[in-house]
Structure 1
Amino acid sequence: MLLFCPTCGNLLRVEKGITALRFACNTCPYVFNIARKVSSRTYPKLKEVDDVLGGSAAWENVDSTEERCPKCSHSRAYFMQIQTRSADEPMTTFYKCCNPQCAHNWRD
């Protein structure tokens, strides 16, 4: 957590005071005593596979192949190949079920 001095705007540093830790400014005499430990974590929301691939517009002009859907067992699926790793690695194949009620996404 970064805190800034309300007097001069410089970054406050943590230092050990007489009884506890405190935030102190390097350039002016501002001091803010730390009363309690505050900690929190925020985890970023992972993107859906369809968002990473460019959304629904990316699936408009793709070919279909005979690939069985693992969710509904439909016999055909749209496919798209994208280079997700370094250039010397093989391309990743992404599939989308041709069944409009299912539209399940998976990769190979």
Structure 2
Amino acid sequence: MLMFCPTCANILGVEEGLNCLRFACNTCPYVYNISHRMGTRSYPKLKEVDDVLGGAAAWDNVDSTEERCPKCHHPRAYFMQIQTRSADEPMTTFYKCCNHECGHRWRE
């Protein structure tokens, strides 16, 4: 959290005072004693992998190809390509097994 001096508008630095911390201006004599915690930490909720790839609905209208499932060895799999890295990198191909009992997902 940044605090600014109300007198000269410079950024206040934190320094130790008498038994407490305080904000102090480097250019003028302004001092503000810190009496309680002024900030909190909050961590953003990370997205689920399915959200990043479009969720379950992303697999509704995809094509299938002859790609063997590494889990059940079914000969066909649905696929879609997504640009997951920078534009000069190739697209990542994601597969989902066509066998509805398996439904294994992997990427190339």
SS of structure 2 residue aligned to 1:69:
coil
Identity of aligned residues (%): 60
CA shift for structure 1 position 13: 5.3
Gaps of 5+ in 2: 4-10
Which residue of structure 1 lines up, in the alignment, with residue 104 of structure 2?
A: 104
Instruction: Please say if 1:45 is aligned against 2:53.
Output: no
Q: Does structure 1 conserve the Cα–Cα contact (< 8 Å) formed by 2:96 and 2:103?
A: yes
Unpaired runs of 5+ residues, structure 1, are 5-10, 35-39
Pick closer, same or farther for the CA change 1:72–1:87 going to 2, 3 Å: same
1:64-108 residue CA offsets vs partner (Å, 9 max, x unmatched): 112122233222110001222233222111111112222222110
Aligned-residue Cα RMSD (Å) equals 3.5
The residue correspondences of 1:1-108 to structure 2 (distance < 5 A) are: 2=1, 14-20=14-20, 22-24=21-23, 30-32=32-34, 42=43, 44-48=45-49, 50-108=50-108
1:72 and 1:103 mapped to 2: Cα distance?
A: 9
Using the size of structure 1 for normalisation, the TM-score is: 0.62
Deviations 1:10-53 (A, max 9, x none): x9853212345x24477x8652357xxxxx784753521x2212
Matched pairs, number = 97
Cα pair distance change 1:12/1:103, threshold 3 Å = farther
Instruction: Output the TM-score relative to the length of structure 2.
Output: 0.62
Preserved contact between residue 77 and residue 98 of structure 1 (Cα < 8 Å): yes
Kept in 2, the 8 Å contact 1:12–1:23? The answer is no
The 3-state SS of whatever aligns with 1:45 is: coil
